[in-house]
Amino acid sequence: MDFGTRVDSDGAFAILDSFVAGGGVWLDTANCYSFWADPSGVGGASERLIGAWLRARPGMRDSVRIATKVRQNPLVPHSWPESAEGLSARAVHTGVAQSLERLGVDHIDLLWAHAEDRTVPLEETVGAFGELVSKGVARRIGAANHAAWRVERARSLAREQRVEPWTALQLRHSLVQPRPLTPLAEAGHRMLAAEDLDLARAEGLAVWSYSSLIWGSYERVDKPLPPTYEHPGTARVLAVLDDVAGELSATRNQVVLAWLMRQGIDPIVGASRVEQIEQALAARRVRLSDEHLARFAEAR
């Protein structure tokens, strides 16, 4: 997300090289990253940086999978959400064509609808995403920040239209939880809910989580947990987290990532330094037992 804005190209290239060297495969970006941090007031920097890195590393396109998103890029600089592109067929096709150009690729491995657009008939969005898959432009498609019932309705419409349905969900999720029904400070974020997991398990959908490290808050005094996480459950979970991290000689972040992966959830991790991506990749070797999971379940 921060590549090309908060993280300069030398730093981002080093992180990407280290990610691939450590066995990493999937890159998650979006056409709108990161308009809020870019003097231009529009997105595109992250995709452009990944495109530049792919060009500088011949053959690399075959070693990585690229996930990007459409719906959120401001059409008028510095005017979000007012001018954010939506999910009309025209917006989706235009947005994806621009993503392909910035990335310098001929297909996207997983295309996400970044957020809902209830001003457009869902049939139209479903048809546009399905067409991109039938043309080979998107290999897979998914929904980020969507209510579970909208995803299921879209999948039903896709069946009717005989096109590829959304097969992946992307939502915000971590070990500690914000107070229920409290609005999040981050515009556009949607928490993973029980019905999302229920839907994913019933239908065999992939689940990717974002902001799972809560921006470093598990480990850093300079980044305390946001106020919405202040409740007794957080203290209980953090106490168990420290015990488990100690028993496994792992960091708090690694145990959080291992806890997500153990439930079949794929955490997307943001990194602004090589050490951060190395630590995240090493979480794949952290093995949580059923007993660890039970302790976390009780504390949550």
Ligand X SMILES: NC(=O)c1ccc[n+]([C@@H]2O[C@H](COP(=O)([O-])OP(=O)(O)OC[C@H]3O[C@@H](n4cnc5c(N)ncnc54)[C@H](OP(=O)(O)O)[C@@H]3O)[C@@H](O)[C@H]2O)c1
Nearer to ligand X, 161 or 272 (CB): 272
Distance between CA 103 and CA 53 in Å, rounded? 9
**Under the criterion CB under 6 A, does residue 1 sit at the interface with ligand X?**
yes
Q: Which listed residue (125, 270, 295, 299) binds ligand X by CB under 6 A?
A: 270
34, 20, 113, 5: which is closest to 68 by C-alpha?
113
Cβ proximity of 163 and 134 under 8 Å: yes
Residue 142 lies near ligand X (rule: CB under 6 A): no
- Is 258 one of the binding residues for ligand X (CB under 6 A)? no
CB of 290 to ligand X, least distance (A): 26
Structure tokens at 287: 């093995």
Least distance from ligand X to the Cβ atom of residue 66, Å: 11
Of 126, 144, 151, 256, the one binding ligand X (CB under 6 A) is 144
Q: What would the two tokens of residue 133 be?
A: 């898959």
Whether residue 83 contacts residue 75, with contact meaning beta carbons closer than 8 Å, is answered with yes
Task: Write the CA distances from 299 to 150, 236, 241, 293, integer angstroms.
Answer: 31, 5, 10, 10
**Under rule CB under 6 A, which residues in 196-255 are in contact with ligand X?**
210-216, 219-220, 253
Q: Which of 28, 85, 117, 164 binds ligand X (CB under 6 A)?
A: 28
* β-bridge mates for residue 206, sequence order: 168
Task: State how far the Cα of 100 lies from the Cα of 85, in Å rounded to an integer.
Answer: 17
Nearer to ligand X, 25 or 294 (CB): 25
- Residue 271 engages ligand X in binding (rule: CB under 6 A): yes
Contact residues toward ligand X (CB under 6 A) are 1, 28, 144-145, 170, 188-189, 210-216, 219-220, 253, 268-272, 276, 279
